[in-house]
């Protein structure tokens, strides 16, 4: 069952001393991957699966590693990235390709009998898919989507560094992550621009209201009106 598979994955990855945040991200990505392979599921986001199969499941209340000082349960670890559970399942499933390729690369490179001619095509495939996701409209600064993309990018680069110092070379480089600004940031920038304009007005208007400036201002206005009247009188007299 998918739920028990999450526990098995957490147990396996914990042996590699991954940080709990990363454990949570990979467990959730794996859950998305498995659910996506079952087209009959009716979940719109992973939180629905979490509520139905994990919240009241006693197996998730067990401590993941008795020798670990943090004494965290499986559920505690998943909860560290609970925001990912609220992502639309169609959105998070876009990462299934990257996730599966990355795991495959780790397996290939960890196998002493691996065929070193096989990895380049997977690495190139990863880089191509990464570029697509980087350009996706969901890649918004500080979003869950953007954070997942960053995690996969970091782990790919770590694998690339390990591999380049070992038996393989020529891992393609990934493009720089270029998230779009979120709506709040755009509003903030607009507000700053408006604030700048307002500050100019706030500086000018109080200045005009001081006693020393008012006579000058009205003096200029009076001279302008007076000149217009003289010009008009001359035109009338001329006719």
What pLDDT, in 10s, does the model give residues 117-167? 777 888 999 999 999 999 999 999 989 999 999 999 998 998 888 776 666
Taking each helix axis as running N to C, give the angle between helix 2-14 and helix 46-53, from 0 to 180 degrees, rounded to the nearest 10: 100
Return the minimum-mean-pLDDT range out of 38-47, 80-89, 110-119: 110-119
Give me the residue spans of the domains in the chain.
1-86, 95-180, 184-238
Residue 5 has a pLDDT of 80
pLDDT at 22: 85
pLDDT, tens digit, 9 for 90 and up, residues 18-50: 788 888 898 898 888 888 877 667 788 889 989
Query: What pTM, to 2 d.p., does this model score?
Result: 0.68
Model confidence at 223: pLDDT above 60: no
């Amino acid at each position: 069952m998918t739920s028990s598979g999450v526990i098995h994955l957490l147990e396996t990855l914990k042996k590699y001393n991954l940080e709990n945040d990363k454990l949570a991200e990979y467990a959730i990505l794996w859950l998305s991957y498995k659910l996506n392979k079952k087209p009959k599921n009716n979940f719109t986001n992973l939180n629905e699966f979490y509520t139905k199969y994990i919240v009241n499941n006693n197996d998730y209340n067990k401590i993941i590693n008795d020798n670990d000082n943090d004494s965290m349960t499986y559920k505690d670890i998943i909860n560290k990235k609970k925001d990912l559970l609220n992502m639309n399942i169609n959105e998070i499933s876009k990462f299934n390709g990257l996730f599966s390729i990355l795991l495959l690369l780790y397996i290939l490179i960890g196998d002493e009998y691996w065929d070193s001619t096989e990895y380049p095509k997977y690495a190139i495939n990863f880089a191509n898919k990464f570029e697509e996701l980087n350009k996706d409209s969901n890649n918004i600064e500080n979003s869950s989507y953007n954070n997942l993309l960053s995690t996969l990018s970091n782990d790919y680069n770590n694998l690339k560094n390990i591999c380049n110092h070992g038996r393989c070379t020529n891992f393609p480089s990934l493009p720089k992550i270029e998230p779009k600004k979120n709506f709040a940031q755009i509003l903030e920038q607009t507000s700053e621009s408006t604030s700048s304009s307002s500050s100019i007005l706030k500086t000018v208007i109080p200045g005009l209201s001081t006693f020393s400036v008012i006579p000058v201002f009205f003096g200029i206005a009076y001279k302008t009106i007076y000149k217009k009247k003289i010009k008009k009188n001359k035109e009338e007299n001329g006719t």
